[in-house]
Chain A
Amino acid sequence: MSYGHGMGLRGAAHIAGVYEHPGRHLPDLTVAQIHAQVAAGALADAGLSFSDVDAYYCAGDAPGFGGLSMADYLGISCRGIDSTESGGSSYLIHVQHAAQAIAAGHCNVALITLAGKPRTGGAGPGGSISQSAPESGFENLFGLNVVAGYALAAQRHIYEFGTTSAQLAEIKVAASQHASHNPHAFLPDAVTIEEVLESPMIARPLHRLDSCVITDGGGALVVVSPEIAATLSRHTIPVLGTGAAVKHSTAGRIDLSHTGASISGPAAFAEARVHPADIDYASIYDSFTITVLITLEDLGFCAKGEGGRFVADGGLLAPFGRLPFNTDGGGLCNNHPANRGGMTKVIEAVRQRRGEAAEAVQVPDCELALAHGTGGSLATRMGSATLVLGREL
């Protein structure tokens, strides 16, 4: 075993099953039903059943009381339960926690689910600050919304580093070209830089096409011990590295140019014993184009301030760009269930590692894949999580 006391989680667990709900518009299903459908899908993908599951993980999108309501709905006999809530990064943190629990012998088969209906369920875009939050009186009075919060980070990046709106648009252009190969994508048409820049301005400098889609849907993961993985016929993917971080507002010394990825990324690379240059494919949470650009810098794929140049000229295009990213079209084009993109980031990274991405965007010999999730408000009060999914040990 490569893991043990103080040795990290390298190889402690495998992702054995993944499932992404094909629906983007699900008016006739409840959120609980979508959780159940994606759970069944991921277990079937792994070759396992509900009776094999002994730990359940979910975040704030799960209806009811923490994880208890859905564990009860699904009939899971849990030895472990975890409802860590850190927005869109929750599900990557759940993978880390599941690997920890498996390494400790507390469970063998962990099920992680996400589902939501922001398109047809009446819930608005996520990320708002609840009135009970201690910061609400100092952030809720000024017309802050999710786009505007990310626009503040984008404006600062443009000021500090000379990043351009056209460079940001390149991120959407690459995602849209990938989405054109995904029959389930909510926005399946490739767009140009000009189309992004001519789309309506929402909060300067972010346009509508700098923003993710709002869709119904869901996804699930099954994380298992190496011993269980060895009994399955499905291609399981070892979790090589995990990193999680909470970046906060530091008594008001807010730094909009760095995200928690600058902490979670190096932690995940160190645990996996690899470097950014080793990564063949990356799923990067893309709530907005600026989210991708800053995250790429913080993960170390390029130097701070160089993100604009890194993504330019098709840098993110699969299969042969500098760093093929979000080959399902990502949150910018494919889907954004529950307004949380972390789950689908892991799913597409697993598809790439298995060689099961869409043919036109499959990265040849994809041995090392990275997935990164972002939750909360970019760079100010946020959860970040990074996974390195790898080659066989």
Chain B
Amino acid sequence: MSQLPTPNPPVTADSLPFWEGATDDRLVLPRCNGCAEVIWYPRHFCPRCGSADVSWFEASGQGSIYSFTVVERGQGRWAEHSPYVLAYVELAEGPRVLTNIIDTDPDSLSIGDVVHASFDHSEDGRGVLRFTVR
């Protein structure tokens, strides 16, 4: 659990299975039934092959840092939380997802570090996908 801003996410019918999983701290992703691509961001459409036939499955929650930045001067409500770590994490299933690395010393991070999913919860109970090095 981090102290970062965690507003209620904009849940839509298109992304609902992801948010239902995240509510229970599970990373649920769509996989295309046509070409088997694991799709990010979550939606009922495969941008690789054009199919709208997808299945939802629980992913491992394991990944590694593809890139990260320590934001020293955040904007808006993020200003008071600076510095914080914004990153792309490459999931074990393939996609690279925008996220925060939490509960860590920013100076200790390197690209390639192994990280694990950790959900922060918004006021309405939804889970927001972040990662920790532990």
Contact = CB atoms under 8 A, between A and B. Distances in A.
A and B are partners in one complex rather than unrelated chains: yes
A155 B111 contact: yes
Contacts of B11: 137
Interface of B is mostly: loop
Contact of B70 (A124, A136, A137, A204): A204
A211 B105 CA distance: 26
B95 interface: yes
B48 A148 contact: no
| Among B11, B19, B37: residue with most chain A CB under 10 A | B37
A152 B69 contact: yes
| Among A138, A139, A159, A200: residue with most chain B CB under 10 A | A138
Size band of the interface chain B makes with A: 35 or more
B92 to A, nearest CB: 13
Size band of the interface chain A makes with B: 35 or more
B3 interface: no
A251 interface: yes
| Among A143, A203, A253: residue with most chain B CB under 10 A | A143
Given A131-B10, A144-B86, A252-B96, A155 B73 contact: no
A200 B71 CA distance: 12
Given A137-B15, A139-B98, A155 B68 contact: yes
B43 interface: yes
A143 B9 contact: no
A251 B37 CA distance: 8
Contacts of B73: 147, 200-203
B10 A136 contact: yes
B88 A148 contact: no
A32 interface: no
Contacts of B86: 142-144, 148, 151-152, 203
B114 interface: no
B66 A156 contact: yes
Given A156-B66, A252-B94, A145 B40 contact: no
A105 interface: no
Interface of A: 124, 131, 134-145, 147-148, 151-156, 159, 200-206, 248-254, 256
Given A155-B69, A204-B71, A256-B88, 9 more contacts: A138-B40, A141-B7, A143-B100, A145-B71, A151-B69, A203-B72, A203-B73, A251-B47, A251-B48
30 contacts: A131-B10, A134-B41, A137-B11, A138-B40, A138-B42, A138-B97, A141-B7, A141-B128, A142-B100, A143-B4, A143-B84, A144-B98, A147-B73, A152-B69, A152-B86, A156-B67, A201-B73, A202-B73, A203-B70, A203-B71, A203-B73, A204-B69, A249-B40, A249-B41, A250-B48, A251-B37, A251-B38, A251-B40, A252-B40, A252-B41
